[in-house]
Amino acid sequence: MDTLLKPAHTDLPASPSLDQRRDHGPDQRPDPNHADCRGVASVLSRVGDKWSVFVIMMLSDGPKRFNELKRLINGISQRMLTLTLRGLERDGLVTRTIFPTIPPRVDYELTDLGHGLSRPVEALGRWAKDHLDQIEAARTKFDQRNEG
């Protein structure tokens, strides 16, 4: 009940790295006029987390069960899905509803907050989809210049 799903010796489910590892200095004021880093970063990292994004997208359709999500995302391991869901739950983005039946059934659903997030996230997803070619082209070109 200690190591649980937590990889090795973390204390947070799915986005520990930022909050914990990032304060390497005593005072860390970047410049208030831009972005206040610390806090925003921890939210951004949730968004940047591949699995979180996919889960959010899948759930924007409506509530889903555990294995349903697993099938939809398909590349995700069960551990990562659990971890991701716990993280999203922790952040108040999804709710976890347990039906004490046999066999057990658990539904995951976006909260209002989660739905709010899903909008900019999907906007981003659309952008990504739209410009994928350009980016991949740029990557190829860059790689050729750099080692070809």
User: Measured in whole angstroms, how far is the alpha carbon of residue 60 from the centre of its chain?
Assistant: 14
C-alpha 19/C-alpha 112 separation (Å) is 25
Q: Which is nearer to its own copies, 63 or 116 (CB)?
A: 116
Instruction: Rule CB under 8 A: say whether 57 interacts with its own copies.
Output: yes
**By rule CB under 7 A, what string of x and - marks binding of each residue 101-140 to DNA?**
--xxxx----------------------------------
Which CB atom, from 102 or from 130, has the smaller least distance to its own copies? 130
For the bound state, the minimum distance from the C-beta of residue 43 to DNA, rounded and expressed in Å, comes to 14
**Residue 3 binds its own copies, judged by CB under 8 A:** no
Tell me the C-alpha distance between 36 and 2, whole Å.
33
Q: Residue 79 carries which DSSP code? A: H
Token pair, residue 78, equals: 């069960």
Give CA–CA dist 147/112, Å, rounded.
48
| Beta carbon nearer to its own copies, 17 or 105 | 17
Assigned token pair, 85:
């869901």
Number of CB atoms found within 10 A of residue 147's CB = 6
Q: Which is nearer to its own copies, 32 or 103 (CB)?
A: 32
Beta bridge partners of 65: 107
- From the list 32, 62, 75, 148, which residue makes contact with DNA (rule: CB under 7 A)? 75
Positions in the binding site for DNA (CB under 7 A):
1-5, 7-10, 12, 14-17, 20-22, 24, 49-51, 65-68, 75-80, 82-83, 85-86, 96, 98, 103-106
